[in-house]
Chains A and B, each alone.
Chain A
Amino acid sequence: MRQTYGKTLPGMNLSDLAGKLIVVEGTDGAGRTTQINMLRPWLEQQGHAVLDTGMTRSPLVGEGIRRAKESNNLGRVTQSLFYATDFIDRMENEVMPALRAGFIVLTDRYIFSLMARAIVRGMNPAWIRGIYSAALVPDAVFYLRLDVEQLIPRVIFSRGFDYWESGMDVFPGQDMFESFRSYQSALLAEFDRLSVEFSFETVDASADAKVVFAQLQAKIQAVLDGDSRRQPLFADEAVRREYIHKVFEYAAASTMRRSADQPFAQPRASTGTEHSWAFHSNAAVPSLHARSTLDRK
């Protein structure tokens, strides 16, 4: 049975969470999103149903966090708790139903980024760990690691310095570059500590994206091959439909825009025909409902 880091939430049923929870962690600019955008189609081609999720995509709090970050007045405790609300909302309403329906859940950042950010902002590590003790233990955590000096050119020559990524709220006296360096160094030090405590699989993110991708493919394949259950997850098709439906509805309610070709963070069940350990996902896609909800937006 799947486990949490210590606490369970009311109504949380940890049995039958048969999917796989795979975490991609790393500092800003380490290439997490690039990798997830490659991993997803690769897994779908193998016939797996894939959900990808990430910070602030909760329909409940995502918009509230974005608004709060635009204001000049978001405190450190408030920030940590806002993100915790977003995380738990997605876990309860998106990740857990998806795991129950047998999805592979790829998550861009997890509790580790949230803990690192909070700790660097002076929060008590025991306090923030306590809050996330209700989080599910993932099947694997891949930590894309990049030194600050390698990170800087990636940021400068792509999107430029961002107020929050530069930790300007933490180092208000410094200019953006100095602040970025101080903040990302502190984050990196915290990530390195967490990587030992939580046994991350560290991947050198300074290599070419294709090289990193090949490493991740091999590691994820090992996680999937390690699963001995190669049978449908639900005897009752209706139950599985119900959970897939929940995932679709949740994602459709999210207003988080991702990119032009994928305007909403919507889960797509696989259309592939190859099956390894996965169930036949394409039989139960309630796509009409999800699409029509999206179309109305």
Chain B
Amino acid sequence: MNTGNSARFGPFEVVIPPELSSLRQRRFSEPEFPGRLFVVEGVDGSGKSTQISLLHKWLESKGYGVVFSTWNSSELVKDTTKLGKKKKMLSPATFSLIHATDFADRVERNILPLLKAGAVVLCDRYIYTAFARDVARGMDRHWVRDLYSFSAKPAVAFYFRVPLETAIGRLTTARDGFKFYEAGLDLGLSDDPTESFRLFQGRILDEYERMIPEFGLTVIDATLPVEVQQAQVRQIVQTHLDRARNLRVRP
């Protein structure tokens, strides 16, 4: 092939067309783009969605070009995920892979191009959600981390830490009943949905705790008043935006 260049990966020589060389993956690449990525993480009921929505409004009011992306929202993939959940067709492995597919579509189509264009990108849940849930389902920790190695590294990943009982209390009053996969009922931990939810979310919390030092997550005490948490979040975000050059403003 005369249009390609080649590169070596261990014992393998690989021919890659020149226009694709920029796609070469690095593990959790450092930001080399003008935009900034902020993500919120935490178990259901930790209040992270409230916090990111307040952050979103604040950034917009300050004139930043802000784009918001939420977990499981790819137009190309979400129908498949819905089908799998509704018909309970997902195993731990396919649950993991279909969420990675959804995430990949959002990264390729939105998150990366927008960061390159100089936008502030906010993500409600990011790769850490997948790491926590998939490992709680029994997937290999390294396998899942490698799976997501195409993702961009956020400027800040906020982890809204809340004791399990508080999260469960907030959720059980907010709605009735848990969904099949969210309660981890596919794992057969318990026949009782509430008990299964408690056990499964407990495993997820353990995984988040492990990831705090591993990925340098910024911990926010989610039992504090909403306003106090938001003030902390804004202060941290502000320092990163002050340092950023070439951010695009909203016309």
Please list the residues of chain A having a beta carbon within 8 angstroms of any beta carbon in chain B: 7, 9-11, 59-61, 63-64, 67-68, 71, 73-78, 80-82, 84-85, 88-89, 92-93, 119-127, 130-131, 133-134, 170-171, 182, 185-186, 189-190, 193, 197
Contacts and interface: CB of A to CB of B under 8 A. Distances in A.
9 contacts: A60-B80, A77-B150, A81-B104, A85-B98, A121-B20, A122-B17, A125-B10, A126-B9, A186-B1
Contacts of A189: 1, 15
Interface stretch (B82-90, B171-179, B212-220, B243-251): B82-90
B199 to A, nearest CB: 16
Given A64-B79, A134-B143, A186-B15, A126 B107 contact: no
A92 B20 CA distance: 33
Given A60-B80, A60-B83, A127-B149, A81 B101 contact: yes
Nearest to A171: B17
Contacts of A125: 9-10, 12, 14
Nearest to A188: B1
Interface stretch (B134-142, B161-169, B203-211): B134-142
Given A73-B109, A75-B109, 17 more contacts: A60-B84, A64-B76, A64-B83, A68-B76, A78-B77, A88-B97, A119-B14, A122-B23, A124-B25, A130-B143, A131-B143, A134-B143, A182-B3, A182-B17, A186-B15, A193-B12, A193-B13
A10 B137 contact: yes
A85 B3 contact: no
A175 to B, nearest CB: 13
A9 B139 contact: yes
A-B CB proximity, top 7 nearest: A10-B138, A75-B108, A64-B80, A122-B20, A85-B97, A122-B23, A81-B101
Q: Is the interface of A mostly helix, strand, loop or mixed?
A: helix
Given A121-B20, A186-B1, A64 B77 contact: yes
Interface string B43-79: 0000000000000000000000000000000101101
Contacts of B16: 120, 122
Contact of B76 (A73, A120, A134, A190): A73
B4 A186 contact: yes
A76 B158 CA distance: 29
Contacts of B13: 193
Given A78-B77, A124-B24, A186-B15, A92 B94 contact: yes
B9 A88 contact: no
Contacts of B137: 10
A66 to B, nearest CB: 11
B193 interface: no
A84 B148 CA distance: 13
A59 B80 CA distance: 10
A59 B88 CA distance: 12
A64 B76 CA distance: 8
Interface in B96-137: 97-98, 100-101, 104-105, 107-109, 137
B91 interface: yes
A88 B101 CA distance: 13
Contacts of B24: 122, 124
B104 A77 contact: yes
B146 interface: yes
